[in-house]
Structure 1
Amino acid sequence: MPDAIPVIDIGQYGTDSARSAAIATETDRACRETGFFLITGHDVPKSDTATLFSEARQFFRLPTEQKLKSRGPGGHIARGYTPFRGETLAAGTSPDTTHTPDLKEMLDFGPEPADGITPDNGFFAPDIWPEQPAGLKPAIQAYTRHMSTLATTLLRIFAETLNVPEHIFLNAHRRNISALRLICYPESDSPSPAPTRGGAHTDYGSLTILTADNATGGLQAKLRSGNWVDVIPQPGQFAINIGDIMPVWTNDRWVSTPHRVIAAPASDRARSRRHSIVFFHQPDPDAIIAPGDTPHYPPTTYGDHWRRKWLATRQQSAAP
């Protein structure tokens, strides 16, 4: 089907050689043609996903003054609560253009300092855990473990797909700065809402794993045809998209597809409150990102790339 987001069952990957090869072929096609695909056959328990959605909804329903107690420190430290209109994602892709801040609030978590890891440059800063709801922290910790395992499986599939040793990708993520983000797009009572709630952008890292509730006004991807297509994970599915790093590593064999979150139609505006759970799998901050022969891009460290895009999304925002 033209302009459709493909669905790939990864359930037998690594256990059956013929099926693994077929999964790799399907993945390569998706990464070349759409940059997005939906997966089934993973091992993430539905109950853990449902628990985290429940805890996230409770947090975002708290009074603003309570949520602000978990506000992040700002600058390049991606931790804690960001209030409504506190990020402008489109500015990370086109920083020289003025954009409208995103109509969302969010809560960010990342790798904390550990033995052998120093909190250099804010990449390994302590998380900021809200006091309420009490079940949020264990729900995030459980879900993050599942996402880390799933992301590693996807990197292995990517390596087979590209016919490269898997250690090339896995070694670049040994000290990764992957992040979990909870997002709330509140319902709107404005008579003239913005056309989008999250501006068009590409993600920064290797790959993104997303799930969301089914509220009206959701994720869309801009495919090579120029058409915007809905990306709607069904129950038990995750949406996967590749970030900016994979086109560099593959010398543009794969595409990092712009995507956005659209506004709900006027008839559904009062019922359009939306929640998303997003896991950004990101390389080590000092990993050198460069393709092999005849590169299309100059080499850079992932940390430098991430910092440029992150700070750009903050400079055009108007958080209180």
Structure 2
Amino acid sequence: MIKNKIADDKLDTLVSKSVVPIIDLAHCGKTVVNRVGQQLHKAFTEKGIAFLVNHGIADEKIKGVWDQFDNFLDLPAEIQDRYRRKNGVNYGYVSPGIERFDGKTPELRHTYNICKLDDQNLPREPLPEFADEITNLTNDFKTISSFLLKAMEVALEVPPGLFAENHSQMLEGDDVNMTTLRMIYYPAIVDDEPGQSEGAIRCGAHVDYGTFTLLSQDSEGGLEVQLPGSEKWQRVGHLPGAILINGGELLSIWTKQRYHALPHRVVIPEQEQIRTRGRHSIAYFVHPDNKTPIDPQDIQKDEASSSNEKIYTAYELIQKKFNDTYGQRS
């Protein structure tokens, strides 16, 4: 155990090099909105990524949800099948090898998307504690997100409520808002099982589609990013207890690319002590309400911009991304 910990510490990561900004959310209130907004603004314009600490979500609460997802994965296949994601919707369970960002490379992960806190999205009947614990945690992520949206309004000097009011339907269903809580489990890679990881990846290279993403992970597991201005993939590393935040493509469009949408992927780690253990993470993808027009003029007035330039809604832009990635909504 000590040997493995030392090996992990020696990984060359953005965390080990202190490259990722750290934003302290302690005592989140009106007195710190401006400070957090400015720090987030600096992080999104320079790095596209940051760590949030003192965010108020206990480690035990997050671990409890990971344990509940493990319980779901232990259910018989016929019960899991009731909650599999169907074509045309964004919620439900997806088993390893189904999602392929490049259309061909299998992705070795279990995922479960939740877009609304109801019985259709949550397996309440077989696992009542699953539904209760996830509802609790999801509301915490929603609270943090609402605070961050207000902080961005201050930093960007936009009218109060521009972001908050256009994200008012988070977790009310993907028919009105695409905000999604995703539970993820990356199985251990056992090298003596032929072909298990050959030609595969944990998550293919992509940028997130929405406003921003909050990510909690239980260990270092192969998350890599391309920082702004670089095509080099760099391992992020793990900061225990912190929540990672990265900007999404809609926010980048909204800010005329002042805020970066960071390309990222999750590779199968080459280190045996990492690849041979499973890894949990939870991603909270924050999206504007579907009907929200994503107009850069809302944030940065530009007289040179053409008034005839077509403005798309958040829903239209997201559907275009789904079509580009999957060929259809998936």
Asked if these proteins are the same fold (TM beyond 0.5), I'd say yes
Query: Which position in structure 1 is the counterpart of 2:53?
Result: 40
Structure 2 residue 201 is matched with structure 1 residue 196: yes
Residues 257-276 of structure 1 mapped to structure 2, 5 A cutoff? 257-265=262-270, 267-268=272-273, 271-276=276-281
Letter in 1 for 2:256: N
Shift of 1:195: 6.4
SS in 2 for 1:81: strand
Q: 2:312 corresponds to which residue?
A: 300
Q: C-alpha deviations, 1:12-38, integer Å up to 9, x for none? A: 44343xx54433322111101111100
**Residues 1:145 and 2:139 are matched in the alignment:** yes
What's the counterpart of residue 57 of structure 1? 70
- Tell me the amino acid that sits aligned with residue 127 of structure 1: N
On the 8 A contact 1:155/1:166 being kept in 2, the answer is no
Q: In the alignment, which of 168, 171, 193 is matched to residue 174 of structure 1?
A: 168
| Contact 1:86/1:102 (8 A) holds in 2 | yes
Q: Deviations over 1:60-101 (max 9, x none)?
A: 2434444223112222x111111212212x34xxxxxx5413
Larger displacement relative to structure 2 (137-146 or 98-107): 98-107
Q: Give me the whole-angstrom Cα distance separating, in 1, the residues matched to 2:125 and 2:57.
A: 26
Query: Structure 1 residue 311: deviation in Å?
Result: 4.5
Q: Does 1:243 align with 2:258?
A: no
- Work out the CA distance in 1 between the residues paired with 2:305 and 2:24: 33
Letter in 2 for 1:5: V
- Stretches of structure 2 lacking an aligned partner (at least 5 in a row): 1-13, 171-176
The one-letter amino acid paired with 2:253 is: V
For 1:70, give the aligned amino acid: Y
CA contact (8 A) 1:57 1:275 kept: no
Q: Which of 221, 229, 233 pairs up with 2:234?
A: 229
Alignment-derived partner of residue 84 in structure 1: 96
Asked if the contact 2:94–2:110 (Cα under 8 Å) also holds between the matched residues in 1, the reply is yes
Q: Residues 146-165 of structure 1 correspond to what in structure 2 (within 5 A)?
A: 146-165=140-159
Q: Take 1:285 and 1:21, find their aligned partners in 2: how far apart are those partners?
A: 28
Task: Work out whether residues 3 and 223 of structure 1, in 8 Å CA contact, stay in contact via their aligned partners in 2.
Answer: no
Gaps of 5+ in 1: 92-97, 114-124
1:201 Cα offset (Å):
0.5
- The alignment of Structure 1 onto Structure 2 pairs a total of residues equal to 296
Aligned CA-pair RMSD: 2.8
Cα distance in 1 for partners of 2:327, 2:281 equals: 24
Q: 1:89-108, aligned counterparts within 5 Å? A: 90-91=101-102, 98-108=103-113
Quick check: 1:290–1:298 contact (8 Å CA) kept in 2?
no
Tell me if structure 1 keeps the 8 A contact 2:205–2:263.
Answer: yes
TM-score, normalised to structure 2, is 0.80
Report 1:101-120 matches (<5 A).
101-111=106-116
1:272 to 1:161, Cα distance in 2 relative to 1, 3 A: same
Contact 1:28 1:161 in 2 (8 A): yes
State the AA in 1 paired with 2:132. Answer: P
Matched residues in 1 for 2:140 and 2:236: separation?
Answer: 22
State how far apart, in whole Å, the 2-side matches of 1:229 and 1:63 are: 38
